[in-house]
Amino acid sequence: MFYRIISRKRDKNKQSGYKMKEISRIIRKLYNSYTKMPMKLRFLLVLTFFVLLFVFSVSINQNVVNEENQNNESNNIKNGRENGEGRPNEVDNSTPITKEVTVVIDPGHGGEDLGATKGDLYEKKLNLDISLKMGKLLEDLGVNVVYTRDKDIDVGLDERVNIANRINAALFISVHNNYMPNDAGYKGTETLYCTPVDTDENKMDGQKLAAIVQNKLVSTLKTVDNGTIYRPNLVVLRKTNMPAVIAEIAYMSNSSDRAKLTDEGFRQKAAEALTEAVMEAFKFMKVEKDESGEWMFMD
Ligand SMILES: [Zn+2]
């Protein structure tokens, strides 16, 4: 055993010694032929050598610079995504960039715009009252709430949309009440939506939100169920970037609905139903409270 190992080592030493000799022989040969060359050719050869060396070093340098640029670029893209920059109007309807969750509550009409009226009953006032009650309930649950108006003022439809889009709201809930001019018998609750139906069943959209809101309203208020209605031409539904609905709580033109609406307990119940709808939508959207008590997208 020992002998074998030693002999192998010797072989190796022999081999590498042979290689070294071979290399030095080749170098000597090259040097000899170099010295035998005419002066001009020798000069040209040295020059070519240095030119090649220069080109080689420049190309290596260029590669390093390119690599650095690529790294910077990918960093910029990453930072841009994290800050939500550079994608102002191509926001996906159901995946907000920011992780914190805000619900925008939009009390219909206001100020000069009374909405529907019946005697001294103004739609704008009913809408605001239900909205403020709803906002209070949501805030009690720790949800960030932003109102498009929280007092009796006129706010343009585009401004209402901008408020929600600017803060990247998770949901947009508009509160209205209805009026049927020529049919006092018509009554009940309906929820309007517009967002195109998302083929992804796991994503919240206007239609899904409308179904949840409508369900909670009619089961809580025991009003007539007029269902959800696709309304593609309403500004606050069409231009908002997030799942949005208009909840038409009841008909001011119908005497029994009107009696309900003038009852504060009914308006409180409407606010509770809307709050429950938001909670159910949150569950679907995987919005949960984190350790610090903030409602966040968990996906
Ligand atoms: Zn209205």
Percent with pLDDT over 90 in the chain = 62
- pLDDT at residue 5 in the model: 39
Lowest mean pLDDT among 15-19, 152-156, 241-245, 268-272: 15-19
Quick one: tokens of 79? 């930072």
236 alpha carbon – ligand 1 mean position (Å): 12
54 alpha carbon – ligand 1 mean position (Å): 77
171 alpha carbon – ligand 1 mean position (Å): 19
User: For the chain, where do the domains classified as CATH 3.40.630.40 start and end?
Assistant: 102-289
- pLDDT at residue 59 in the model: 61
279 alpha carbon – ligand 1 mean position (Å): 24
113 alpha carbon – ligand 1 mean position (Å): 9
Pick the more confident residue, 78 or 144.
144
283 alpha carbon – ligand 1 mean position (Å): 29
290 alpha carbon – ligand 1 mean position (Å): 36
- pLDDT at residue 67 in the model: 42
N residues, the chain: 299
How far is 213 from 274, CA to CA, in rounded Å?
Answer: 6
6 alpha carbon – ligand 1 mean position (Å): 100
Give CATH superfamily name and number for 102-289: Zn-dependent exopeptidases (3.40.630.40)
110 alpha carbon – ligand 1 mean position (Å): 10
214 alpha carbon – ligand 1 mean position (Å): 17
In this predicted model, what pLDDT tens digit does every residue of 159-175 receive, in sequence order? 999 999 999 999 999 99
